[in-house]
Structure 1
């Protein structure tokens, strides 16, 4: 795991402090930080819940503003992890994706479409 990925995980914990216990438990269970496991199993269910409820608009705006920053980052490892976890998961449910697109920046939308294409999904 590189520094950019560490920063990403730290930022997600700041956005979603309720996930900290599960985050620590995952590290203890696996003996190390498994980025994709933590993002897919801990952070994304929370983000999906926020999108489904669409009550905490301010938090959603902050998260997706950060996702736009990540989408414009040059770090290949971070981009790969972000694409195969966050963006692919957002594309799993079209109604969730439509809600998420309200908050996404242009680069995030572009990368999400690319992630869907890479999975062979119809767009």
Structure 2
């Protein structure tokens, strides 16, 4: 795992401290950090829950501001991980995606649309 990806995981654990035990358990189970498994199975369910409840707006705002920073990264590995986990999962549910769009920055929206297109999904018009 490179430094940018390590930073991503640190930040996700900071935003979502309730995931720390599952994160450590995953590392113990698999003998290391399986990046996509952790993002898809540990972090994203928590983010989807936050979006579905839309109660902790401050936390959502902070997470998506960070996602915008990630979206502007030039690190190819982190960008690929982010696209195929976070952005694709957000596109799995149009209602969740609609809520997420309220918090997304311009670059994050562009990358999420690209992720949907890369999967062959129809891109919804939220305007």
Shorter-chain TM-score category?
Answer: over 0.9
String of CA shifts for 1:53-79, please: whole Å, max 9, x gaps: 000000000000000000000000000
Alignment TM-score, normalising by the size of structure 1 = 1.00
Q: How does 1:95-106 map to 2 (within 5 A)?
A: 95-106=95-106
Partner of 1:87, secondary structure, is helix
Distance 1:26 1:87 in 2: 22
1:6 and 2:6 correspond: yes
Partner of 2:66: 66
String of CA shifts for 1:85-115, please: whole Å, max 9, x gaps: 0000000000000000000000000000000
Report the CA distance between 1:16 and its aligned residue: 0.1
The count of residues paired between Structure 1 and Structure 2 equals 123
Structural RMSD (CA): 0.3
Partner of 2:120, secondary structure, is coil
Q: Which runs of 5+ in 1 are unaligned?
A: none
